[in-house]
């Protein structure tokens, strides 16, 4: 009987991490989920507690972790502006100290390790669409820098460990991802718009709403992460994972109003500092090397996500609020 692969997922109780844990269990892995629950929630993984091959560990990655594993997915870090700007110093520590500690664990155990990096690496890009060789346009002292520069430094550490210690590393640059289990008040555009529409409040548009994003459904993104981890060792990355379909923020808002049958309308506010104007991945590398591209259309993914938030509302007996 083949031994089960032992896989550590840091940030495993978060939105993306919980879906990844679920998929790894379905693939026959023995999964250790580590989370300090700053933004993650036990509700996201409660349905996994009875699986004998799932284990939960309350742990902050800024401290070393001593376990035996074959693979590490390093997802631990607050990923929405509201959360990562709440304690920006801790956000930077999570990215940098967390990377050092997880790379140290990979070095000791010989594990493969994947870093969940971000499209924020590119800042407010001057190249469109963004390719992996573009070095970005990031403000190193702005309010988003704790996340942007923390993730950039984490990538530096991954490739230094690769060159200096021959670690088997993978780096995924993740573009906007959405789906069930998003936090209702995390400040991300999809969850913000859905919650506002379900509450009957005007949807908040920053600037003229013509800035663009690319939205990838969580199931597609998780498939990309798993394929990257399983790729040959010469594919270290970075690899863009996201949906190359570009959507304006105003267009997204109008789509959500239509699906939710909301008549709340739109409300304009000034554009936040350093908010990217255009964001869209070139996924040629993922297509060619991983045979991966998103399959779930935005309209279908939004319908599933809206159904989740509606169910969330019914279960709690009221619309979701910041207290949730």
pLDDT tier, 320 (very low <50, low <70, confident <90, very high otherwise): very low
Report the C-alpha gap between 1 and 218 in whole angstroms.
32
- State mean pLDDT over 114-120: 96
Catalytic residue among 84, 147, 162, 178: 147
| Phi, psi values for residue 275, rounded to 5° | -70, 125
Residue 98 pLDDT exceeds 70: yes
Q: Is 130 left (phi over 0), alpha (psi -120 to 50) or beta?
A: beta
- State mean pLDDT over 10-15: 97
CA distances from 44 to 10, 21, 257, 305, 312 (A): 14, 10, 26, 14, 12
Task: Supply the mean pLDDT for the chain.
Answer: 92
- State mean pLDDT over 49-60: 98
pLDDT digits (tens, 9 = 90+) for 135-149: 999 989 999 889 899
How many C-beta atoms lie closer than 10 Å to residue 147's C-beta? Answer: 24
Res 167: pLDDT: 98
pLDDT digits (tens, 9 = 90+) for 197-226: 999 999 999 888 888 889 999 999 999 999
* Burial status of residue 93 (CB atoms within 10 A of its CB: 0-12, 13-18, 19 or more): middle
The single residue listed with the structure tokens 């399959």 is: 295
- State mean pLDDT over 78-83: 76
Give ∠ CA 39-143-98 in degrees, rounded to 5: 45
Three-class HEC string of the chain? CCCCCEEEEECCCCHHHHHHHHHHHHCCCEEEEEECCCCCCHHHCHHHCCCCCEEEEECCCCCCCCCCCCEEEECCCCCCHHHHCCCHHHHHHHHHHHHHHHHHHHHHHCCEEEEEEEHHHHECCCCCCECCCCCCECCCCCCCHHHHHHHHHHHHHHHHHHHHHCCCEEEEEECCEECCCCCCCCCCHHHHHHHHHHHCCCEEEECCCCCEEECEEHHHHHHHHHHHHCCCCCCCCCEEECCCCEEEHHHHHHHHHHHHCCCCCEEEECCCCCCCCCCCECCHHHHHHHCCCCCCCHHHHHHHHHHHHHHHHHHHCCCCCCCC
Res 1: pLDDT: 53
pLDDT digits (tens, 9 = 90+) for 274-299: 677 888 999 999 999 999 999 999 99
Protein fold of 6-178+217-243+275-296 = Rossmann fold (3.40.50)
Res 317: pLDDT: 47
Known catalytic residue at 147: yes
Query: Is the N-terminal amide bond of 129 cis, ω within 30° of 0?
Result: yes
């Amino acid at each position: 009987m083949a031994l089960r692969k032992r896989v550590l997922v840091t940030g495993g109780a978060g939105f993306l991490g919980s879906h990844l844990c679920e998929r790894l269990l379905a693939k026959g892995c023995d999964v250790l989920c580590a989370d300090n629950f700053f933004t993650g929630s036990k509700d996201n993984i409660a349905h996994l507690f009875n699986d004998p091959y799932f284990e939960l560990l309350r742990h902050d990655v800024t401290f070393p972790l001593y376990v035996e594993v074959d693979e590490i997915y390093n997802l631990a870090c607050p990923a929405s502006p509201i959360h990562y700007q709440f304690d920006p110093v801790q956000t930077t520590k999570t990215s940098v100290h967390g990377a050092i500690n997880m790379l140290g664990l990979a070095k000791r155990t010989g594990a493969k390790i994947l870093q969940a990096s971000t499209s924020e690496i590119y800042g407010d890009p001057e190249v469109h669409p963004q390719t992996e060789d573009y070095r970005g346009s990031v403000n190193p002292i702005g309010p988003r820098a704790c996340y942007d520069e923390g993730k950039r430094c984490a990538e530096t550490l991954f490739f230094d460990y690769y060159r200096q210690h021959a670690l088997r590393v993978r780096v995924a640059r993740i573009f906007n991802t959405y789906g069930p289990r998003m936090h209702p008040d995390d400040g991300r555009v999809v969850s913000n718009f859905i919650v506002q529409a379900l509450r009957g409040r005007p949807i908040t548009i920053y600037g003229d709403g013509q800035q663009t994003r690319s939205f990838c459904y969580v199931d597609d993104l998780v498939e990309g992460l798993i394929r990257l981890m399983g790729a040959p060792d010469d594919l270290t990355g970075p690899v863009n994972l996201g949906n190359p379909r570009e959507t304006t923020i105003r267009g997204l808002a109008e789509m959500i109003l239509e699906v939710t049958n909301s008549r709340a309308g739109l409300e304009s506010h000034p554009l936040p500092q350093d908010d990217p104007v255009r964001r869209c991945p070139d996924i040629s590398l993922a297509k060619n090397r991983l045979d991966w591209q998103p399959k779930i259309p935005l309209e279908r993914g939004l319908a599933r996500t809206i159904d989740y938030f509606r169910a969330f509302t019914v279960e709690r007996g009221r619309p979701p609020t910041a207290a949730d």
